[in-house]
Structure 1
């Protein structure tokens, strides 16, 4: 809750809406609670997991969500009952046996970590989001199973950070020794894992602080989960690059298929045996992640669905920001999984939520999830082709009752509303075709004009108060946002506007079935009063050193202050780069017209660069890390490395690099979202 306003009670409108949810959905069905608890062999043995580098800081708590205990408080008036049920399920934490030799640690991060017993060690699938939580999860398994065997392989199912960020924790909290074992990932994993967290990483991290409500207390009036899991851990993000890639080129040919593979041969499947564990990989690019794969374990008749089939409608466009996902491809790959694996599967699990047990249940689950994404794609396109805009299509869109009745198709993480808009954006783009929307004013200018058109701030707030009293909170937040963004509003009136905005956002949060919607609404309510308070994380060394040289220069180019550079530099500045170790690489960068252009090797348009920079890749990584640190700058880090003899600069103008790097800016990691 915002610190400067009294706690807000749910209105009669929200209370009635939440009661209607309770009456409409099959709350008597306890199957999910049975499945989420099945096979539990251990519970967390500590109250919290602490930071490796800051031992007093909690990166994951097991006690924050005690208020969700259904035995203590079966209902919370400030939480949508459907979301409350989902949060109670995702809060079930511990070690679980999924099938013979297959275990999951759940409730130690946003994601699950899966452990498979091999002949000499253990195979780990998706080692959580941070080093500390992965280390604690593995320790829980070792203690409960009295199994100290080494990690014999690591598998990343896809390129999102909560599925690889904890990998170094599997090998200890200290040190960076990496054993010579397989690190297996789908084709394109490293490129997408790095680029997603670097290119727009600061903006995504800021918005993620809304999505997971990092600044809110865990409480009935605050953060109660995110729908996909409780929240994201805040420990050290690490990455060990894969040394084995699953691709179309690795697919097992028909004549190499074996009876032990159980399922019939199908083109594109790759069979790998790791530490005696037989694994069959199905590539699913462009589904929930750009690089992703499902995994079948024939000996256990068990299917890992990565994040392609979970107990929620997933995001087609995550609210933290990303590229729009393809529901058509998603449904097609689910169809392929059904046709390939379902007949031969008794258990399906994913890297979030709890497993589905039973062949018929697995088939129904996968089929209904497939139908869900196909329906969203196809029916949105039908509406687009009858003239609906994204907003219009989302407003009236309803799932068939046969789909919406399944708990796993409810919108706890994705939602029908924002997923329909995502489909619209994917096919049509941001513009709805109405020229009135082609060149709209930005929020501050629009706000000033709206306030004036309505007859002043007092009139606007009076109309908004009427809407609030009538329970039309969506209109309140839209209308009052104009007052919040309008420049020059006197402090007392601005304060009244922000208070009303916070109250309306809070009511919307209390009524939201979607965990991330609730988090956005309630974080917005806090920030409109208290100001920005996000908690973005800094890119770690592993992510930076995993950047290709091409990606390094992409990242620098995206940080150039183009307007300033174009004003001050009338002539191009070209730099030749020579990276000598671990392998020799070269590139030419040219700052011209405010853009930093890079060409591998020699740029044919550059007769002679102003300077040549010679360094090792480890030095480049060090400079980038120092530049990214609080108070650091690329120019200062570069000049320090030159002074220390780690970088050599030669050529006609040895000051040219410093000139270019002087235009490299740092992102604002705490920018305002709900206020100007």
Structure 2
């Protein structure tokens, strides 16, 4: 029996060795090295590519550098638009001072401003440029294209009552739903979106050096928002500061948007024609961006036949023919991307297969204004798939697939163990196969994110991919992660709202608190806790902790059972509790909270059922290699 078993094992080994040897001998090396899709950007796998150095020392793909300078204002500049005879038409574009352009229009009664920036600081810079380089006439009207850049207006005028603020009917609601963070379809998740936004907009990249940003940085500064005083409707014509403007609001770009047509100047101001490939999906996460809405908004602009195509991010285009050609290629690229994605889905392709399915006709690929300097085409098709189909790609093996750590553990063992995988990843890196090196080393990193060799290989691979990235978004994500792995940055997993934002609307954050309950801790608990805000006329809301679930109670007086625990506190105290900047016992000692019903211990027990913001435990995406800073 023993000899039979031994013989069987030997025989199986010989067969396996023979099969592997035959495979290696009959499979061309080139096929083993490059079996990826023909549309895959092979520069990430050792394909030909040239790097260049930007003025700030950034090492970047040379095509990216050239296309970026062609599409956006990379340095502070006031672009005065002129007619065919070289005469100014009374429109200026202030570029390179912020993430967004500020457009200034001279009207008979004063100035009209389109876009104000992300903060009061942006508004101050725009105002300084206007007064020193454009005109000292008063600003009579401010127009918001959409909610993203409505936060510099207050710094641009001395008296808010002296200016008309024009915006979309949905802008007020959108700004309110931001609650100090990134807009979200699920507001409870805004802290995650805010943190991802910080990565995407270069907040973890230096101003100079090889990792420097090549696009503007979104800095979190104090806002100077002025509410809309006049909401425009679609196709509405209106006299603004003595100049006739026509407004279009029907279509959505990345937000509810206002397009402005100035018939007298044949100029259109818009948030639909972006610099580079239309960003139909954002890596930071966002609401679904409907390509047909974008096309609709661009078709409106095409129908106006503008001589001046002025966008809030791109360089202005002057010339009717030039504008028409740019718009046509842009619209066709969106239509191609969307329709070919649907074609691929109809062929049965899943999200991973769709990424490199789309072929671009040469004239669309070569158009200056279609360059992938922001987002990149492979990211868009999966977003359409997920919007309609969700996560399931029709591969049944994924219905109950193993968790990532279990998968990594088994694959690493199958590949010969940790050292063998590290060696293979390093070899791939040495062969300039950066994408493969990153994918391989990810299995080791999944098992031990503090493994020094794994972190180094992962950082080196991601840095190379970031330098070769065509779009600024991909570059920001890849380089930021590389720097975090090296201990040069600490990337926040989430950025909660600030204390003042929570204190302004504490009941909303009592509601949001419900999603942080730990069902294991709360499984035996069935109690109602209410919070009475002493500084808000004793406004009371509550949470019913019901055996693992926390239900928000908007009106406890009308709820089906009385409160077991009632806590009286100020809005600021709740904000500090929410952010884990104080404890209930300390707040009670300081006189900022009082337990009116139940005991102090009862209240503490309930609050301890919820996750707390913890810099060490849940704040950083990459485990820090050193001590956590204060």
TM bin, normalised by shorter chain, reads 0.7 to 0.9
Q: CA deviation at 1:353?
A: 2.0
Q: Distance in 2 between matches of 1:438 and 1:117?
A: 61
2:501 and 2:54 map into 1 onto residues whose CA distance is: 31
Q: Is the 8 A contact 2:75 2:97 kept in 1?
A: no
The structure 2 residue matched to 1:508, chosen from 438, 445, 465, is: 465
RMSD: 3.8
- C-alpha change, 1:457 and 1:659, in structure 2 (3 Å) is closer
Which of residues 142, 156, 174 in structure 2 aligns to 1:154?
142
The CA deviation string for residues 104-138 of structure 1, in whole angstroms up to 9 with x for no partner, is: 22111111122333455433322111211221221
Shift of 1:653: 8.0
- Offset of residue 501 of structure 1: 1.6
8 Å Cα contact 1:112/1:126 also seen in 2: yes
8 Å CA contact retained: 1:96, 1:103: yes
Partner of 2:522: 566
Check the 8 A contact 1:166/1:236 in 2, yes or no: no
The offset of 1:603, in angstroms, is 6.9
Of 514, 519, 522, 2:479 maps to: 522
Deviates more, 1:524-533 or 1:358-367: 524-533
Q: Which of 194, 211, 219 is the aligned partner of 1:222?
A: 211
2:373–2:470 contact (8 Å) kept in structure 1? yes
Matches within 5 A, 1:153-192: 153-160=141-148, 163-171=149-157, 178-179=160-161, 181-192=163-174
Distance between the aligned counterparts of 1:222 and 1:498, measured in 2?
A: 17
Change over 3 Å in CA distance of 1:65–1:543 after alignment to 2: farther
2:309 alignment partner, SS class: strand
Kindly tell me: are residues 145 and 463 of structure 1, through their superposed partners in 2, closer, same or farther at Cα, counting changes over 3 Å? closer
Is 1:244 the counterpart of 2:230? The answer is yes
Give the match for residue 135 of structure 1: 124
Number of the residue aligned with 1:632: 581
Aligned-pair CA distance for 1:303: 0.7
Scaled by the length of structure 1, what TM-score is found? Answer: 0.73
Q: 1:279 aligned to 2:245?
A: yes
- 1:387 alignment partner in structure 2: 348
5 Å matches for 1:337-352? 337-339=301-303, 341-342=304-305, 345-352=306-313
Match of 1:212 among 190, 201, 206: 201
Given that 2:145 and 2:259 are in contact with CA atoms closer than 8 Å, whether structure 1 keeps it comes out as yes
* C-alpha separation in 1, matches of 2:482 and 2:598: 56
Q: Which residue of 1 aligns with 2:280?
A: 316
Task: Determine if the alignment matches structure 1 residue 82 to structure 2 residue 63.
Answer: yes
Q: Is the 8 A contact 1:313 1:411 kept in 2?
A: yes
Secondary structure in 2 matching 1:530: coil
Determine the structure 1 residue equivalent to 2:413: 452
**Does the 8 Å contact 1:565/1:594 carry over to 2?**
yes
1:610 CA drift (Å) = 5.0
CA 652–309 in structure 1, closer or farther in 2 if over 3 Å, else same? same
Q: Mark the CA change 1:671 to 1:577 in structure 2 (over 3 Å): closer, same or farther.
A: closer
**Which has the larger displacement, 383-392 or 446-455?**
446-455
Q: 2:454 aligns to what?
A: 497
Moved more, 438-447 or 572-581: 572-581
Question: How does 1:116-127 map onto structure 2 within 5 Å?
Answer: 116-127=105-116
2:48 paired residue number: 17
Q: C-alpha offsets along residues 458-489 of structure 1, whole Å, 9 cap, x if unaligned?
A: 111222233223332211111101111214x9
Distance 1:117 1:657 in 2: 61
Q: 264, 270, 278: which one pairs with 1:305?
A: 270
Say which one has the larger Rg. 2
For residues 291-320 of structure 1, give each alpha carbon's deviation from its aligned partner in whole angstroms, at most 9, with x where no partner exists.
Answer: 2222222232211112x1112113222111
Counterpart Cα distance in 2 of 1:123 and 1:545: 35
Work out which structure has the larger RCO, using CA pairs closer than 8 Å and 6 or more positions apart in sequence: 1
- Aligned pair count reads 565
